[in-house]
Amino acid sequence: MLMGRYIPGDSAIHKMDPRSKLLVMIAFIAVIFLANDWLGYLLLLIYTFAGVWLSKISISYFLKGLRPMLGLILFTVIFQMLFTPGEHILFHFWILQVSIESLINAVYIFFRFVLIIFMSTILTLTTPPLTLADGIETGLSPLKKLKVPVHELGLMLSISLRFIPTLMDDTTMIMNAQKARGMDFGEGSLLQKIKSVIPILIPLFVSSFRRADDLAIAMESRGYQGGDGRTKYRQLKWQSRDTILVISIIIMALVLILWSKVSK
């Protein structure tokens, strides 16, 4: 599973502030919808691959990240191809038709998917989950004015991340314990498979409750009273390369807007 995996490195992208990366990632998704012809997509493609190249991570990791989504992408692309109305019809069968327009549309949608996945893969591959959580927390801090509990969300996120390996260990332990007692996993009909999950799930829930209880007491004993009046040990540093990154996506957006105006 590649989702959310971090690959250590010291490339320019690795050293960037998670806030700038998150910001650009979100902006990029919006920018993609500004492109409406092949030149626009070419530009986006160059931008994305410049990112891939700068991250110094082998392209095979990105292709692996694409694999689980491939089914969904092909499904959408084929539907777009068959059901989009167009003038120059190439192929016609019952209510299905393939036209040049629908074919082009399908290709665009394919690229949209691929670019978004590549871009988000760059983000997760180059940013440690923790730093990402920090970035999300500080990135959301303007929402404090709207009474969004930003500190609590950040804390929940970082505790969840910290407990993922612990809970994975728990799961393996419980599975092995149930196997030792004669449980068969992954055998029989679908219903039996679902039923066999219960002896893992319930102990896992119970142990999570206990962990949560212990953790809350330990936190309280160490003086945790909520977000007010807390200082922060971790500090994010915004450097000039982050400013350059943000400017690059703004330029990108401007170029695409201008281009679509001109081409009309």
Partner 1 sequence: MGQKLAKFDIIKVMNKILEVENLHFKYEKESEVEQLDGVSFFVEKGEWVSIIGQNGSGKSTTARLIDGLLEEFTGTVKIDNEVLTNQNVWDLRRKIGMVFQNPDNQFVGATVEDDVAFGMENQGIPREEMLKRVDEALLAVNMMDFKKKEPARLSGGQKQRVAIAGIIALRPEIIILDESTSMLDPTGRADIMRVIHEIKEKYGLTVLSITHDLDEAAQSDRIIVMKDGKVAEVARPEVLFGSNEDMVEIGLDVPFTSNLMADLRHVGFDLPNEYMDDKKLTQVLTGMLKK
Q: Which of 30, 220, 254, 257 binds partner 1 (CB under 8 A)?
A: 220
Which amino acid would we find at residue 77?
A: V
Q: In whole angstroms, what is the distance from residue 176 CA to residue 69 CA?
A: 31
Asked if 60 touches partner 1 (CB under 8 A), the answer is no
Task: By CB under 8 A, name the one of 198, 202, 217, 244 that touches partner 1.
Answer: 217
Q: Does an H or E element contain 114, and which?
A: helix 100-126
Please give the Cα distance from 194 to 168 (Å, whole number): 19
CB of 217 to partner 1, least distance (A): 6
Of residues 76, 75, 73, the one with CA closest to residue 63: 73
Total number of residues binding partner 1 (CB under 8 A)? 29
Taking CB under 8 A as the criterion, which residues in 221-250 touch partner 1?
Answer: 221-225, 229-235
- Minimum distance from CB of 245 to partner 1 (Å)? 25
Site for partner 1 (CB under 8 A): which residue of 7, 77, 161, 175? 161
Rg (CA), the chain: 24
- Nearest Cα residue to 250 out of 31, 12, 8: 31
Tokens 């250590």 identify what position?
8
Instruction: State which of residues 70, 78, 96, 218 lies at the interface with partner 1 (CB under 8 A).
Output: 218
Q: Which residues bind partner 1 (CB under 8 A)?
A: 130, 133, 158-159, 161-162, 165-166, 169, 210-211, 214-215, 217-225, 229-235
